[in-house]
Amino acid sequence: MIILSIETSCDETSVAITNNGREVLSNVVFTQIAVHTIYGGVVPEIASRMHTEKLSELTLAAINEAKIAFEDVEAVAVSYAPGLIGALLTGVAFAKALAFSLNVPLIPVHHIRGHIASCYITFKELTPPFICLIASGSHSHIVKVNDYTDYEILGATKDDAPGEAFDKVARLLGLGYPGGVKIDKLFSKGDSKRFKFPKVTFKDNPYNFSFSGVKTNVINLVHNMEQKGEEVPVNDVCASFNQIVAETLVEKLHLACINEKATKVAICGGVSANSVLRKLALDTFSKDNITLYLPDLSLCGDNAAMIGCAGYYEYKAGNIGDMYLNAKSNSPIN
């Protein structure tokens, strides 16, 4: 089944063509980072305008790259929630128009379900059930994937998402936006044991996260040093911060896997590109004979191929939308 899929939830405009979920025929991604960098973060209004400007061009590019014709498209899938409401609306409106004009079904896809599907594209053999950590710029969840469209949330962030913490710490240190990649690159140059930032635990749910505390600790440390006229050891701060975030994510995920007796675990979302997190997870899970699935780096960030893959399974489960489909800035994965 050929699906044309659309992703516009934040600052990546993307259109993809997938076949039967896991085969990617094209995945065109236009990143707006260069524009948002000037402002130190995503400006929602600019993001929406750029999506609108780019969607037609990227759709044609995706069709051409996949070497198909519009008549070959059997359904249109779109990321409708969660995300920046204006940005999502551009994709939803475009997808509705396209599905209507091609007279094919419209498939609403939850963005986080899309991130999980990035693992299905990378690993053709991966099937539910498994435990999945989704760590991105706006989400961190530990989810039990019971089936392709059946999810159970085990834990989630109570405040900042990990990517958000990366971005804010990077901004504080003058590294620019987006911060994750920049901090990741500095890890090998710094001493990750120099600063001991706290790990937050929740008594009621050991799988919940909090990243605002570690972010505030970094801010206080940097401000104290600046006030004393000391030079801030940026590499050591970045390495120590990255280490604590990676440890927090992997430890909670590991605990969930042990308690749930999982044999398969996946990590996805923008932060899953983090080299420290990937290495720590590989080391941790290989010791327990739990198979770890990490998506290809090209699929960690927002892209439409993952929406097409998730859309295929939504379609098979009968989750079809109509012309009343609306975007939602917030919506639980389950």
C-beta of 73: minimal distance to ligand KG4 in Å?
A: 25
Q: Which of 21, 86, 178, 295 binds ligand KG4 (CB under 6 A)?
A: 178
C-beta of 270: minimal distance to Zn ion in Å?
A: 6
Question: For residue 180, how far is the Cα from the chain centroid?
Answer: 12
Q: How far apart are CA 89 and CA 30, in angstroms?
A: 17
Contact between 246 and ligand KG4 per CB under 6 A = no
Q: Which of 2, 3, 10, 186 binds ligand KG4 (CB under 6 A)?
A: 10
Q: Which two tokens stand for residue 319?
A: 């989750």
* DSSP β-bridge partners for residue 75: 3
Nearest-Å Rg of the Cα atoms of the chain is 20
CA quadruple 168, 173, 178, 181: dihedral sign:
negative
Angle between helix 162-172 and 179-186 (nearest 10): 70
Sites for ligand KG4 among residues 291-330 (CB under 6 A): 301-302
Q: Which of 5, 138, 149, 248 binds ligand KG4 (CB under 6 A)?
A: 138
Angle between helix 212-227 and 162-172 (nearest 10): 10
Q: Which stretch binds ligand KG4 (CB under 6 A): 90-98, 216-224, 249-257, 271-279?
A: 271-279
Residue pair 5/307 in contact (Cβ under 8 Å)? The answer is: yes
Q: Which stretch binds ligand KG4 (CB under 6 A): 163-171, 219-227, 304-312, 320-328?
A: 163-171
Residue pair 247/142 in contact (Cβ under 8 Å)? The answer is: no
Q: Which two tokens stand for residue 285?
A: 């899970």
Contact between 7 and Zn ion per CB under 5 A = no
Query: Applying CB under 5 A, what is the total number of residues that bind Zn ion?
Result: 2
Q: Which of 21, 86, 108, 163 binds ligand KG4 (CB under 6 A)?
A: 163
Which x/- pattern over 291-310 shows residues binding Zn ion (rule: CB under 5 A)? -----------x--------
**Residue closer to ligand KG4 (CB basis): 2 or 135:** 135
Q: How far apart are CA 5 and CA 180, in angstroms?
A: 26
Q: Which of 136, 149, 240, 248 binds Zn ion (CB under 5 A)?
A: 136
Contact between 137 and ligand KG4 per CB under 6 A = yes
Identity of the amino acid at 119: C
Q: Which of ligand KG4, Zn ion, none does 91 bind, CB closer than 5 to 8 A by kind?
A: none
Cβ-Cβ contacts under 8 Å for 294 (sequence gap 6 or more): 119, 122, 266, 267, 272, 278, 281, 282
Query: Applying CB under 6 A, what is the total number of residues that bind ligand KG4?
Result: 19
**Residue closer to ligand KG4 (CB basis): 85 or 320:** 85
Residue pair 180/271 in contact (Cβ under 8 Å)? The answer is: yes
Binding site for ligand KG4 (CB under 6 A): 10, 136-138, 163, 166-167, 178-181, 184, 269-271, 273-274, 301-302
* Residues contributing to the site for Zn ion (CB under 5 A): 136, 302
